[in-house]
Amino acid sequence: MPLALQNIFALPLRALTWLGGQGTRAVAAVVFIAVAVPPLGALLRPYVTEAIFVLLCISFMRVDLAALAGHLRRPALVATATAWTTIGVPVIVGLTAYATGLIDRSPGLALALMLQGMASPMMAAPALAALMGLDATLVLVTLVSSTALVPFTASLFASLFLGGMLSISPLTLGLKLLGILTASLLTATVIRWVFGAAAIQRHKQPIDGFNIVILLIFAAAIMGDVASDLVARPIFTIGFAALAFAIYFTLLAVTTLLFRRIGYERALALGLMVSQRNLGLMLAATAGALPPTTWLYFAMTQFPIHLAPYMLMPIARRLTARSQTSGGAATGTTARPG
């Protein structure tokens, strides 16, 4: 490659490498940039589906097939976690929405909550778990199984709970989800075949940086109106933000407690996965044809999604250190201080 061409690519590569090295700090910064620059949201909103597709491709591209196969040899835990996130969560959300009368009082919010409950976990969840020092492999294998089921479970729960609230039929929703996931998986497979798993691993940090750039595109696209909503309806908007945080941490806490028998470190990893719902996938499947209230709630969910991993880092480090100390004691080794 000519030297001039190398120099052209060197600067962006260094920038992406630096960005990828920022970890949860960069993920947290994304949400504030998205809110602070509203014109960016207006510019990027037409590209929500494309951004989600790229995020899915990056995640599928980085799947560790050996680790995936290892966990599939012990399917009971994965099956239980998959059942909880794909069946348990949407059933509880749907029944709660009907029991509280939310379906009639605020159909836009009820639709948002149901789509959140029906969504599979975010494809970035394993990467976030790894950044926090948690069991990313368990998260990954559960994520893969949940994502494979979501076209079918989402279609089922849409027909049970949503009625005519969606602009598309439940069957169409399931088919669109299946199409998006299949296309991204095939694209990722081609990328792995062309470049090889070793090259992908070697370029981990610049890929992380590129992933953060795409996260910014997605966040800006759905959060472009947050600043104006906050000015026009401050109490309403803040209330939605509080609700988004409450639901996020409720899912996190309940999941961690449900799976505490496998150890709090691994249970927290599953809790992180379950609370990080892939609303972007639902936006892509519905082509963004959702009520303004639904859009606003989706925008508010980006705050806990991006900020919680940074906020939870001290807890994750403490649990990881305790797990390592327990492991050292069990094998007769002595944990060194610090």
CATH of the domain at 99: 1.20.1530.20
The predicted pLDDT at position 259 comes to: 93
Q: How confident is the model at residue 82 (pLDDT cuts 50, 70, 90)?
A: very high
User: Mean pLDDT, to the nearest integer, of 275-288?
Assistant: 83
Domain assignment present for residue 9? The answer is no
User: Mean pLDDT, to the nearest integer, of 207-220?
Assistant: 84
The predicted pLDDT at position 335 comes to: 33
Q: Helix 170-195 and helix 279-286: axis angle, to 10°?
A: 110
Tell me the average pLDDT of the chain.
Answer: 81
181 vs 82 pLDDT, higher one: 82
Domain assignment present for residue 58? The answer is yes
Domain assignment present for residue 15? The answer is no
Q: How confident is the model at residue 176 (pLDDT cuts 50, 70, 90)?
A: confident
Domain assignment present for residue 288? The answer is yes
Domain assignment present for residue 327? The answer is no
* pLDDT at position 207 over 70: yes
Our count of domains for the chain comes to 1
Choose the weakest-confidence range: 29-33, 162-166, 297-301: 162-166
Domain assignment present for residue 336? The answer is no
Choose the weakest-confidence range: 3-7, 29-33, 42-46, 146-150: 3-7
Domain of 198 in residue numbering reads as 20-322
Q: How many CA atoms lie within 13 A of 114 on its CB side?
A: 28
Write out the two tokens for 89.
């969560």
Please, are residues 143 and 123 in contact by the beta-carbon 8 Å criterion?
A: yes
First and final CA of the chain: distance in angstroms? 47
Q: Who contacts 3 (Cβ-Cβ below 8 Å, separation ≥6)? A: none
* pLDDT at position 257 over 70: yes
Domain assignment present for residue 315? The answer is yes
The runs of H, that is alpha helices, within the chain are 3-20, 24-36, 38-44, 48-61, 65-72, 75-83, 89-99, 102-105, 107-118, 125-131, 136-157, 170-195, 197-202, 204-223, 226-232, 234-258, 264-275, 279-286, 292-330
User: Mean pLDDT, to the nearest integer, of 122-126?
Assistant: 77
The predicted pLDDT at position 278 comes to: 86
Domain assignment present for residue 228? The answer is yes
Nearest 5°: CA angle at 279, between 277 and 285?
135
The predicted pLDDT at position 326 comes to: 62
> Global pTM?
0.79
Most trustworthy range by pLDDT among 12-26, 99-113, 114-128:
99-113
In Å, the largest CA–CA distance within the chain is 67
Please, are residues 86 and 146 in contact by the beta-carbon 8 Å criterion?
A: yes
Query: CA nearest 12: which of 213, 302, 245?
Result: 213
Q: How confident is the model at residue 249 (pLDDT cuts 50, 70, 90)?
A: very high
Quote the percentage of the chain above a pLDDT of 90.
20
The predicted pLDDT at position 328 comes to: 44
